[in-house]
Structure 1
Amino acid sequence: MNRYMAEAAGTALLVFFAVGSAVFGLAEIGTLGVALAFGLVLLALAYAIGPVSGSHVNPAVTVGMLLAKRITPVEAGVYIVAQVVGGIVGMAVIRLIAGLGNTTMQVNGANSYGEKINAGGAFILEVVLTFMLVLVVLMVTRRNDVYGFDGLAIGLTLALVHLVGIPLTGTSVNPARSIGPALFGGWHSMAQLWLFIIAPLIGGVLAALAEPYLRASTARTPNEPNEPHVPGGQSS
């Protein structure tokens, strides 16, 4: 149960701090600042809850892990539910602060397309960006655990894909990150939400399919512990 609670709490924190940086401070910190916020939050979560749940905090990563046979279908299903709930909670806290604190929201935090990129371009973009993120997660972790410098690579990759995607779609690469803001963003955000659910999941699937062919060998990765793996993210 602690794994699922970690995924819910981790996703809530990701949305609150990272999406919150855009909602309250986009004009002050800009695209680079928001991208770094996403990367730094995921970096912190990777080391904080990575040993517990793997720190997916993203249904696309969970789908990739499932197809890579690192977690079971039941675990994956509960992970995804926990992530979506966490994302909604994180955004609800942002809206609560905005309302009670009489704070100006510079953006609503929802992903969108149409102003700078059309639906087709946004779909391809989100697939490619998510492919990059999930591929890195799968290749550096090897299993459903975070060790050594895994978290640094994952956090920097999330920052990188946000630098590319923020000007065009706001960058989803994470359905749980998109669902919460869309629920509070009005009908327009909800009408476009389908793209930010389907495209990242496809990107995760493609990454899982490609990952076995991109590894140099099946040997243990340099930062993987020598101890035998025990399901649940623990080593004996």
Structure 2
Amino acid sequence: MVMVALVHGLALFAAMASSINVSGVHVNPAVTFGALLGGRISLVCAVYYWVAQLLGAIVACLLLRLIAGMRPAGFMEASGVGELRCMILKIVLTFGLMYTMYGTAVDPKRGSMGTTIPLALGLIVATNILVGGPFDG
């Protein structure tokens, strides 16, 4: 689980660090939705980001299937963990992601954070995987 979390966190860090000057930190539809709700981006911009994000996810899944013969598994909760508990946990973990995103990338009072932004977001994603991973099946 630690390796999975670290790989995800480092991959997200690299993706955001390489694109922060192009699109900010919009590599996740939830982050784009939060920025839209907070009035930090326009609806048109959010739709463009969502289309790009979803197309990127589709291409990644197709490449995974083509290269490795793998099919991404669906989402389900672990045995013994109810749907309501999983939903509450995912809400709390998403709040942590959005709080970190707003505190480092979106808030105009944040100051100059530079490359700390992708690092902080990569670390919160790794932490979320470590916390929430045991509850997913």
1:117-172 residue CA offsets vs partner (Å, 9 max, x unmatched): 2211111111111110111011111359x7231111111111000101112126xx
Q: Does 1:66 align with 2:36?
A: yes
The amino acid across from 2:44 in the alignment is V
Q: Is the 8 A contact 1:116 1:168 kept in 2?
A: no
Shift of 1:55: 2.7
Q: Is the 8 A contact 2:104 2:117 kept in 1?
A: yes
Structure 1: stretches of 5+ with no match in the other structure: 1-30, 100-104, 171-236
Shift of 1:92: 1.1
Give aligned pairs, total. Answer: 133
TM-score, scaled to structure 1: 0.52
TM-score, scaled to structure 2: 0.87
Q: Secondary structure at the match of 1:167?
A: helix
Q: Which of 127, 142, 146 is residue 106 of structure 2 equivalent to?
A: 142
Alignment match, 1:81: 51
Structure 2: stretches of 5+ with no match in the other structure: none
Q: Is the 8 A contact 2:86 2:135 kept in 1?
A: yes
Q: Which of 12, 15, 36 is residue 45 of structure 1 equivalent to?
A: 15
Q: Secondary structure at the match of 1:69?
A: coil
**Stretches (4+) displaced over 6 A:** none
Alignment match, 1:181: none
Q: Is the 8 A contact 2:16 2:27 kept in 1?
A: no
Residues 114/36 of structure 1: CA separation in 2 closer, same or farther (3 Å cut): closer
Q: Which of 81, 88, 91 is residue 127 of structure 1 equivalent to?
A: 91
Q: Does 1:161 align with 2:128?
A: yes
Q: Percent identity?
A: 41
